[in-house]
Amino acid sequence: MINERKIVNDPVFGFINIPGGVISRLINHPLITRLSRIKQMGLSSVVYPGAQHTRFQHSLGAFYLMSEAITQLRLKGNEITPEESEGVLAAILLHDIGHGPFSHVLEDSLIRGVPHEEISLRLMERINKELNGQLDLALCIFKDEYPKRFLHQLVSGQLDMDRLDYLCRDSFYTGVIEGNIGSARIIKMLDVKDDHLVIEAKGIYSIENFLTARRLMYWQVYLHKTSVAYEQMMVNSLLRAKELAFKEIELFASPALRFFLYNDIDPKEFYRNSECLEQFIQLDDSDIWTALKVWSAHPDTVLSTLSQGLINRQIFKVETSTNPISEERMKTLFNEISNKLHISKEDAVYFVSTPSIEKNMYDPADDSIDIIYKDGTIKNIAEASDMLNISLLSKKVKKYYLCYLRLA
């Protein structure tokens, strides 16, 4: 029976109870189980070999933390009805359902301008129809249309269960212990004031640790220069494949991947053509890796070289800077790569990428983290903290990357 209560043994949090009913049906839904074929950290395993966990595991972990948060908030006198509990649990369980292979790689190559959040919403609406409206409340919470807005904060906010899980989980699987944020402590400190999540004053150090750990995980793990270079190779290989497909050159691909290679999918087309969503849900990491293995022997030098590099871990060289890369340096690289591979300078652009990444770890204008004291007064964490670098966490840091084919 797919509606019976279950227990899942999670390596990060231990035993997770899965209730019967709607939640059990969702856990077993094909659109959720698809996430078990998509790695949570995309290509980060090129740096951290242990990062093999999936988005399905992350969704289960976020679900568990949401269950714990509901329990703690109820203990403090905050009313959360059984229907609201089921709704917010369903929302967090489905929050990543719209992710494609390697997270944002597809958004930068095969599907232009359609964020995974929009796809998640469409897939949630699709499942809701299958369940005859049983996800109506979950959708309201997900879209921040429900009167109790703190429930949406638990799904998407500065201290949402998504962040609390992926920081703990990614720290666990990468072995970067400095990223461990103590999610249990943060959840125990949660409360609600004026329909807004707050943290009890005695939890302020846990929040400082959370913000510091988040900064460390982003720059040391998620935005590690080798991972960025590897991802750029993946994006460029898919862009090259798409260029060849538009020239009607035959490429090996699964039916789903072929659809996105041989069709121009922008937001207008994605929302107009229902076939786009049908093909998208058939895509997972294996579609891309299988294609790359075959493309490694393709007669096109650009595609085969990029594919071989990805398969055999021959990664672009990467340099970081606080300033944009000069045009002179770019021209020099194009010339050198063109001569090395005997390709045109136009084709050499596939072997040079210059992404820039801007990130801050805390934006009080977005969704502030508020500290509540015993007398009921509330202060923003930036004001409440005596940690000297708290202001630096809200400052945007921008890095420029230069990723290019190794020439030596």
Tell which residue, 151, 24, 30, 150, has the closest CA to residue 85: 151
CB 320 within 8 A of CB 293: no
Distance from C-alpha of 80 to C-alpha of 151, rounded to nearest angstrom? 9
pLDDT top residue among 10 and 178: 10
CATH of 6-221+361-393, picked from 1.10.3210.10, 3.40.50.970, 3.40.50.1820, 3.10.20.30, is: 1.10.3210.10
Structure tokens at 321: 């800077």
Half-sphere exposure of 79 toward its Cβ, with a 13 Å CA cutoff?
4
Candidate from 182-196, 221-235, 376-390 with smallest mean pLDDT = 376-390
Cα–Cα distances (Å) from 126 to 71, 140, 141, 162, 210, in that order, read 30, 15, 16, 22, 35
- Cβ partners under 8 Å of residue 335, min gap 6: 345, 348
Calculate mean pLDDT across residues 213-233.
92
CATH of 225-357, picked from 1.20.1250.30, 2.60.40.10, 3.40.350.10, 3.40.50.300, is: 1.20.1250.30
Please write the tens of the pLDDT for every residue from 167-198: 999 999 999 988 888 899 999 999 999 999 99
Residue 3 has pLDDT above 70, yes or no: no
Candidate from 122-131, 158-167, 378-387 with smallest mean pLDDT = 378-387
Distance from C-alpha of 105 to C-alpha of 262, rounded to nearest angstrom? 17
Calculate mean pLDDT across residues 391-397.
68
Distance from C-alpha of 29 to C-alpha of 364, rounded to nearest angstrom? 37
Calculate mean pLDDT across residues 145-171.
96
So what's the pLDDT on residue 388? 46
Distance from C-alpha of 236 to C-alpha of 105, rounded to nearest angstrom? 10
Please write the tens of the pLDDT for every residue from 276-293: 999 999 999 999 999 999
Please write the tens of the pLDDT for every residue from 352-362: 999 998 877 66
Structure tokens at 78: 């905050």
Distance from C-alpha of 37 to C-alpha of 99, rounded to nearest angstrom? 11
So what's the pLDDT on residue 1? 43
Q: For the chain, which residues make up each domain, given as ranges?
A: 6-221+361-393, 225-357
Calculate mean pLDDT across residues 38-64.
96
Residue 119 has pLDDT above 70, yes or no: yes
What is the pLDDT of the chain when averaged over all its residues? Answer: 93
Owner of token pair 């990029």: 306
Please write the tens of the pLDDT for every residue from 57-110: 999 999 999 999 999 999 999 999 999 999 999 999 999 999 999 877 777 788
So what's the pLDDT on residue 155? 97
Candidate from 54-58, 62-66, 112-116 with smallest mean pLDDT = 112-116
Band of the pLDDT at 112, cuts 50, 70, 90? confident
Tell me the percentage of the chain whose pLDDT exceeds 90. 81
So what's the pLDDT on residue 407? 86
pLDDT top residue among 97 and 112: 97
Calculate mean pLDDT across residues 352-380.
84
Amino acid at 234: M
Helices 204-217 and 161-174: angle between axes, nearest 10 degrees: 60
Tell which residue, 307, 200, 207, has the closest CA to residue 251: 307
- Cβ partners under 8 Å of residue 278, min gap 6: none
The DSSP bridge pattern shows strands 370-372 and 196-200 to be: parallel
Tell me the percentage of the chain whose pLDDT exceeds 70. 95
Tell which residue, 102, 99, 104, has the closest CA to residue 121: 99
Whole-prediction pTM value? 0.94
Calculate mean pLDDT across residues 382-388.
74
Residue 396 has pLDDT above 80, yes or no: no
Burial (CB count <10 Å: 0-12, 13-18, 19+), residue 112: middle
Mapping DSSP to helix (H, G, I), strand (E, B) and coil, where does residue 181 land? coil
Calculate mean pLDDT across residues 226-239.
95
Calculate mean pLDDT across residues 248-268.
96
Distance from C-alpha of 362 to C-alpha of 297, rounded to nearest angstrom? 46
